[in-house]
Amino acid sequence: MNADLVVVGSGLFGLTIAERAATELGLKVALIDRRRHIGGNAYSEREERTGIEVHRYGAHLFHTSNERVWEYVNRFTAFTNYVHRVYTRHQDEVYPMPINLGTINQFFRSAHGPAEAKALIQEQAGELAGTDPENLNDKGIQLIGRPLYEAFIKHYTGKQWQTDPKDLPASIISRLPVRYTYDNRYFNDTHEGLPVDGYTAWLERMADHPNIEVHLDTDFFDGEHALSRSAVMGQVPVVYTGPVDRYFDFAEGDLSWRTIDLEEEVLPIEDFQGCSVMNYPDDDVRFTRIHEFRHFHPERDYTKDATVIMREFSRFAEKGDEPYYPVNTEVDRDKLRKYRDLARGEESVLFGGRLGTYKYLDMHMAIGSALSMFDNKLRPHFERGEKLVSGGVDA
C-alpha cells in the first residue's frame, strides 16, 4: 500500500483533511468512498434534459462567519452573491420565513411595529410564558405563541420527525428565531453564496492534487481490496468519516438517524414556485418542502422550456437508508459515550465529520472541524512525531 494516510469518506470533512495533508505535509493520501462520486451529500450534477444543476442529496447552501473557513474555501471556488430566502405555504397563502415582522403582520392582518409585535407574541404564550416545558409542543408555544406555532411549526416538525411534537423533547427547539424586522434572509452569517461553477467542480478541485489518489465505489469494510479496514488497520493512520456505529459493527447498538426521500420531477414550464425553497407546514401535505433548483443560480442562462423541482419527505432512517440528521435521544447519547470509549482504544484512527461524530454539521462547520483536526492532531504527528491519539467521537 503506497499511502501515508487513508481517509474514509470524501465529504467536505474528508476532502479537507486529504487536501491539507497532501498540500501542507506532502503526504500520499488514499481517499476512498463507497459512492460513485466524491463530495458526500454536497454532490451536485446537471439534470440531463434541462442542464439545471441539481443538488442530489437535498439543497446545500454555503454560509459562514468563520473567516478562516471562508478564506480556505475561496482557494477552490468563487462564490455567487446568492442570498437564501425561504417561503412557507400555509392554507394556500405564502409567507416569508423565518418568522419576521412581515410574517406576523401578514398572518394577523395587522400593521404592528416591533414593540407591538413582541408584546403580542408574549401574550400568546399564555399560561406557558415563563415556564420550562419538557416537550417540544409546549416549548414552541412558549417561544412564539400558539397561533404562529400551530400554523408554521407544529405539523412541519411532526412531519420531519414522524412523531407528535408532544412526544418530542423540548431540547430539539431550544430556540425559534423570530425577527422583529422585515429582514427575511434565512442566514445571519457574514459570508453567503453558492459556488460559481457548482459544488462538484469545487469538490473536485479540492481532490485535484498529485499526492491524492481517489478510490470510488470502494467500501472500507469490504476485505477484498488493499484499502479495506482489515488491510490498513495498524499499518497507516486512518481518518474515518463514516457512521461510527458501523465502524464498530454496531457493538453498542444502532444510533438513530432521520433520513430524507427526494422525489424529482421535470416540469414543462419555466418557473414552478418563484423561489428556491417553499416549505409546506400543513399536515395534509406529506412532503416538508419543495426545492426548485433554477433559482439557486439566477445568473445562469437556463432553459425557459422546463424546470426541475424536488419534493422532500422526512422519516426515521432504517437499515440501509442514508443517514442525514442525528436523532440524539438520551439512549443515543448513552450509546455514543460507549462508542467514544471504543474509539479511544483504536490504533491511530481519528473519527470526524457528521457521521463519524454523530453531530449535525453544516458545511462550514465540517470544514472548520477538519482544519482543527489537521492542526491539532495530524500536523503534530507527522511533523514532530507526536503520538496520534485515537478518538474524536464526542458525547
Give the separation between CA 43 and CA 243, rounded to whole angstroms.
18
* Residue of 279, 282, 284, 283 whose CA lies nearest to 312: 279
Mean pLDDT, residues 378-384 taken together: 96
Can you give the C-alpha Rg of the chain in angstroms? 23
Q: Please give the grid coordinates belonging to residue 129.
A: 410564558
pLDDT of residue 132: 76
Span 281-300, mean pLDDT? Answer: 97
Asked if 239 contacts 5 with a C-beta cutoff of 8 angstroms, the reply is yes
Q: 308 and 293 in contact (C-beta within 8 Å)?
A: yes
> What CA–CA distance (Å, rounded) separates 107 from 122?
16
C-alpha 363 chain-centroid distance = 6
Name the amino acid, one letter, at 115.
A
- The torsion of the CA quartet 381, 385, 390, 395, rounded to 10 degrees, works out to -60
User: Alpha-carbon distance 311 to 277, whole Å?
Assistant: 10
For 145, 255, 260, 323, 328, the CA distances from 318, given in Å and listed in that order, are: 35, 11, 11, 9, 15
Cβ–Cβ under 8 Å, residues 158 and 126: no
**Is residue 380 very low, low, confident or very high in pLDDT (cuts 50, 70, 90)?**
very high
Mean pLDDT lowest for which of 27-41, 120-134, 173-187, 302-316? 120-134
Q: Which amino acid is at 283?
A: D
**131-140, 165-174, 293-302, 323-332: lowest mean pLDDT where?**
165-174
The pLDDT of residue 314:
95
Q: In sequence order, which residues have a C-beta less than 8 Å from that of residue 320 and are 6 or more positions away?
A: none
Cis peptide before 98 (omega within 30 of 0): yes
pTM: 0.93
Residue 67 has pLDDT above 50, yes or no: yes
Q: What is the 3-state secondary structure (H, E, C) of the chain?
A: CCCCEEEECCCHHHHHHHHHHHHHHCCCEEEECCCCCCCHHHCEEECCCCCCEEECCCCCCEEECCHHHHHHHCCCCCECCCCCCEEEEECCEEEEECEEHHHHHHHHCCCCCHHHHHHHHHHHCHHHCCCCCCEHHHHHHHHHCHHHHHHHHHHHHHHHHCCCHHHCEHHHHCCCCEECCCCCCCCCCCEEECECCCHHHHHHHHHCCCCEEEECCCCCCCCCCCCCHHHHCCCCCEEECCCHHHHCCCCCCCCCEEEEEEEEEEECCCCCCCCCEEECCCCCCCCCEEEEHHHHCCCCCCCCCCEEEEEEEEEECCCCCCCCEECCCHHHHHHHHHHHHHHHCCCCEEECHHHHHCCCCCHHHHHHHHHHHHHHHHHHHHHHCCCCCCECCCC
pLDDT tens figures, 162-199: 888 888 888 777 667 789 999 999 999 999 999 999 99
Which pLDDT score is estimated for 223?
84
Name the band, by pLDDT with cuts 50, 70 and 90, for residue 125: confident
Retrieve residue 327's grid coordinates: 436523532
**Interval 241-246 mean pLDDT:** 96
Q: Which residue has the cell 488491510?
A: 231
pLDDT at position 133 is 83
Q: Single out the residue of 331, 350, 378, 388 nearest to residue 247, CA to CA.
A: 350
pLDDT recorded at residue 395: 40
The predicted-structure confidence for 262-273, as pLDDT tens digits, reads as follows 999 999 999 999
pLDDT band for position 394 (cuts 50, 70, 90): low
Q: Which residues are catalytic?
A: 175, 179, 258, 289, 312, 360, 362
pLDDT, tens digit, 9 for 90 and up, residues 334-376: 999 999 999 999 989 999 999 999 998 999 999 999 999 999 9
